[in-house]
């Protein structure tokens, strides 16, 4: 283990969601915003103490994420099924290197347990990181060494973790295999389990009273979901109308992306170049949401997509990480499977310009 290694569309709803998601005055969401928010609530505060607190928060979250990756390495390297029991959240979703989507902690743990005898090591690197409240995300490379001659595979991963009391657990993880045995030819997309996210499915997790709109925390999550859903819709609108500048404006400076038919790109400049090469060559994209969660100013969604490209229809999964700034939402990471990573169609080719 080596861990070190708004858009013009839907402005009112996006703004409403942003305001709701930043409604608490003294929480770690405000700590992520320089001298705004909590600094104003501290008499005599000039922001320097807040900056130190913010640095400590990020350091603690990063240390927790690295510990989680070390625990993951322990499971794979030593076949440690005891540690496996607390590695994944009960709500975990996992896109495996061979393109299968698993839902629920029990299903994920069963899959990993079955894979352990065949896998010698699974090394994961951290190339990008972000945190807010009890949620973190990590983007980087992975390298899986199999005990079977044809089982090795490598690629990139995007990992969402959430803290359960004092421990971090994997909430959702996507492996995209670019090289080796993990690449399938035509994965069957999972669209019915879990059911697509809806306001009532979010409320249901908070109890019966929440279904009647009587739980503020549930309503906060519902409004956050609406904001994320609108952001994804705005992204699709920019893509489908070839509005390149608008799509780039939705990206964070340190965004990490992997678009179909292209290699991963880190940073806004590289992401913009990747998108610019892709947009003239492909048609419309549609994106659904199967899984969603959030904490303060950070959220993620995982779902299916369909892309019309060069006379062929490409289908697969995607995961997006969206951060909320005072100015509105921004794309922190977006990875698509397909065409070289968990590909659903390999026929034909695109003419990039």
CA 290 to chain centre: 12
Average pLDDT rounded to a whole number, residues 250-266 = 94
- Higher-pLDDT residue of 191 and 147 is 147
Provide the CATH number for the domain formed by 48-180 in this structure. Answer: 3.10.450.50
Q: What is the 3-state secondary structure (H, E, C) of 155-205?
A: EEEEEEEEEECCEEEEEEEEEEEEEECCCCCCCCCCCCCCCCCCHHHHHHC
Closest of 343, 288, 347, 345 to residue 95, by C-alpha = 343
Question: Could you read off the pLDDT of 335-344 as tens digits, one per residue?
Answer: 999 876 766 5
Question: Could you read off the pLDDT of 55-109 as tens digits, one per residue?
Answer: 888 888 888 888 898 888 888 888 888 888 889 999 999 999 888 899 999 999 9
What's the CA gap between 85 and 120, in Å, rounded? 19
- Mean pLDDT in the chain? 81
Provide the CATH number for the domain formed by 199-336 in this structure. Answer: 3.10.450.50
Where does the pLDDT of residue 173 fall: very low under 50, low under 70, confident under 90, or very high at 90 and above? very high
The terminus-to-terminus CA distance of the chain in angstroms comes to 39
pTM: 0.82
- Which residues are CB-neighbours of 134 under 8 A, at least 6 positions away? 162, 163, 295
Question: Could you read off the pLDDT of 205-226 as tens digits, one per residue?
Answer: 888 889 988 899 999 999 999 9
For residue 17, pLDDT beyond 80: no
Question: Could you read off the pLDDT of 319-338 as tens digits, one per residue?
Answer: 999 998 888 899 999 999 98
**Fold matches, 48-180 and 199-336:** yes
What's the CA gap between 256 and 121, in Å, rounded? 25
Average pLDDT rounded to a whole number, residues 102-118 = 91
What's the CA gap between 245 and 170, in Å, rounded? 34
Phi, psi (rounded to 5 degrees) for 279? -55, -45
- Burial status of residue 181 (CB atoms within 10 A of its CB: 0-12, 13-18, 19 or more): middle
Domain boundaries, the chain: 48-180, 199-336
Residue 156: count of CB within 10 angstroms of its CB: 21
**71, 73, 79, 84: CA torsion to nearest 10:** 40
């Amino acid at each position: 283990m080596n861990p070190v290694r708004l858009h013009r569309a839907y402005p009112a709803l996006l703004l409403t969601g942003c305001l709701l998601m930043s409604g608490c005055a003294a929480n770690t969401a405000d700590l992520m915003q320089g001298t705004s928010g909590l600094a104003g609530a501290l008499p005599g505060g000039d922001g320097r103490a807040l900056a130190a607190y913010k640095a400590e928060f990020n350091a603690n979250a990063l240390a927790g994420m690295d510990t989680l990756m070390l625990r993951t390495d322990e499971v794979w390297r030593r076949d440690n099924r005891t540690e496996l029991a607390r590695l994944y959240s009960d709500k975990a979703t996992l896109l495996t290197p061979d393109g299968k989507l698993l839902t629920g902690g029990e299903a994920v743990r069963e899959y990993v347990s079955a894979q352990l005898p065949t896998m010698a090591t699974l090394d994961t690197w951290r190339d990008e990181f972000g945190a807010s409240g009890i949620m973190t995300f990590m983007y980087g490379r992975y390298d899986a060494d199999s005990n079977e001659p044809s089982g090795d595979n490598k690629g990139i991963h995007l990992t969402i973790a959430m803290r359960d009391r004092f421990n971090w657990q994997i909430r959702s993880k996507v492996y995209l295999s670019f090289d080796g045995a993990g690449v399938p030819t035509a994965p069957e997309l999972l669209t019915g389990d879990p059911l697509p996210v809806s306001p009532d499915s979010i409320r249901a997790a908070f109890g019966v009273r929440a279904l009647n709109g009587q739980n503020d925390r549930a309503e906060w999550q519902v409004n956050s979901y609406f904001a994320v859903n609108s952001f994804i819709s705005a992204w699709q609108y920019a893509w489908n109308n070839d509005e390149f500048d608008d799509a780039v404006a939705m990206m964070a400076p340190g965004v990490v992306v992997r678009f179909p038919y292209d290699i991963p790109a880190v940073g806004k400049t590289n992401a913009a170049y990747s998108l610019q090469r892709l947009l003239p060559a492909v048609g419309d994209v549609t994106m659904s949401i199967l899984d969603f969660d959030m904490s303060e100013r950070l959220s993620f969604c995982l779902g299916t997509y369909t892309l019309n490209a060069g006379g062929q229809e490409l289908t697969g999964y995607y995961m997006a990480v969206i951060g909320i700034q005072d100015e509105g939402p921004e794309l922190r990471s977006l990875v698509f499977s397909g065409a070289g990573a968990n590909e659903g169609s390999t026929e034909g080719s695109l003419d990039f310009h």
